[in-house]
């Protein structure tokens, strides 16, 4: 099995990706790898308040969903973010809801909330 089979699997299992991303610690691991790819388990463990075994367990779930791939460099096992499954989820489940009308409603909501915030701030000054 090559690294490419992990990055571009034949079928992305949406359920595994959603399950993997449902946990706050796993999302944090993905954020760490996004900030700097190619980290060792020790590096990742130092960023979390959990045991080494706990971090390994979370990494296995992320690997199983195809969100993290590993590569050995000498005696070090490096972990890399694979954004492909996230992008495929985005394309399938998010893009279709970001049509022009939905975007316009979101912009309107933000504008109305901003106006309400400015009004309440002005009342507090008075």
Q: pLDDT tens for residues 49-98?
A: 999 999 999 999 999 999 999 999 999 999 999 999 999 998 888 877 77
2 has a pLDDT exceeding 70: no
Which residue range forms the structural domain that includes residue 29? Answer: 3-88
> pLDDT digits over 3-39, tens only?
555 555 555 788 999 999 999 999 999 999 999 999 9
Q: Check residues 93 and 46 and name the one with the higher pLDDT.
A: 46
- The three-state secondary structure class of 11 is coil
108 and 81, same structural domain?
no
Instruction: Give the predicted TM-score (pTM) of the model.
Output: 0.70
Q: How far is CA 95 from the centre of its chain?
A: 16
Within a domain: 93: no
105 and 81, same structural domain?
no
| Closest C-alpha to 39, from 84, 82, 7, 70 | 70
Q: Could you tell me the CATH number of the domain that includes residue 79?
A: 1.10.10.10
């Amino acid at each position: 099995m090559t690294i490419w089979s992990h990055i571009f699997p034949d079928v992305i299992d949406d359920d595994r990706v959603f399950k993997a991303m449902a946990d706050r610690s796993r999302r944090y691991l993905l954020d760490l790898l996004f900030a700097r790819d190619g980290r060792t388990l020790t590096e990742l463990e130092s960023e979390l308040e959990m045991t080494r075994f706990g971090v390994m367990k979370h990494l296995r779930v992320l690997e199983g969903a195809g969100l993290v791939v590993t590569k050995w460099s000498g005696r070090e096992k490096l972990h890399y973010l694979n954004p492909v499954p996230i992008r495929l989820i985005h394309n399938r489940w998010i893009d279709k809801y970001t049509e022009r009308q939905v975007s316009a409603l979101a912009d309107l909501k933000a504008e109305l909330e901003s106006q309400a915030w400015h009004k309440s701030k002005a009342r507090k000054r008075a």
